[in-house]
Amino acid sequence: MNDSTNKNSDGASQCNCDYSLAFLLLRVWLGLRALLAGVEKFGAYKTIQQPIIDPTTGQADPNMVVDVKVKFYALANYAGVPAGLKTKFANEALLPGFALNIFDKVLGPAFIIAGVMLLMGIGTRTSLFVQGLIYTSLTVGLILINQPDGISWLGIHVALVVMALMLAKHNKLALLKKW
């Protein structure tokens, strides 16, 4: 019997492709999650005025405008740690100010790099481990400022990373399988 098949309880051959597909799903989900979490660190909203469309004519009425919030992304918008949380962290005695500043600058790019690496299959184990460390460090921060709901969500993320690491030996679509 080769490595790609196993005998199940009925004695029938079963392909390990189930594990490969399971890993691929986790890899895509975690990769997209990390990539988009990093990109969102560059997002902000601006308010623009748009004219209301007259339903009878289908034309814009320049005398009636509404304010509409529009999301946009730019390097100038970057905030690794949201301003509201940054204030809470700054008041936490167990979190040194220099560590908060470093974490604030590194968080978004670390998420983006880890997400792209995982999606492309470049060092999947390393990328998963880095993501696990990021989620663990975010958990520590939320523990310090007493945010139990966020802690639970991050615990789920860590569990997904652990499952992906356990399935990493079934990684079939990778550029660098060793790491």
pLDDT in tens, 72-84: 999 999 999 888 8
Task: Identify residue 55 by its one-letter amino acid code.
Answer: P
Q: Say which DSSP state 37 is in.
A: H
Q: Give percent of the chain with pLDDT exceeding 70.
A: 89
Residue 6 has pLDDT above 90, yes or no: no
Average confidence (pLDDT) over 8-36 = 81
pLDDT in tens, 110-160: 999 999 999 999 989 999 999 999 999 999 999 988 888 899 999 999 999
Which secondary structure element, helix H or strand E, spans residue 137, and what is its range?
A: helix 124-144
Mean pLDDT of the chain: 86
| Band (29; pLDDT cuts 50, 70, 90) | very high
Instruction: Give one DSSP letter per residue of 71-127, joined into a string.
Output: EEE-GGG--SS-HHHHHHHHT-TTS-HHHHHHHHHHHHHHHHHHHHHHHHTBSHHHH
Look at residue 89 in the predicted model and tell me its pLDDT. Answer: 87
Provide Rg for the chain, Cα atoms.
23
pLDDT in tens, 46-67: 998 888 887 777 788 777 888 8
Domain ranges of the chain: 15-41+79-170, 43-77
Global confidence as pTM: 0.79
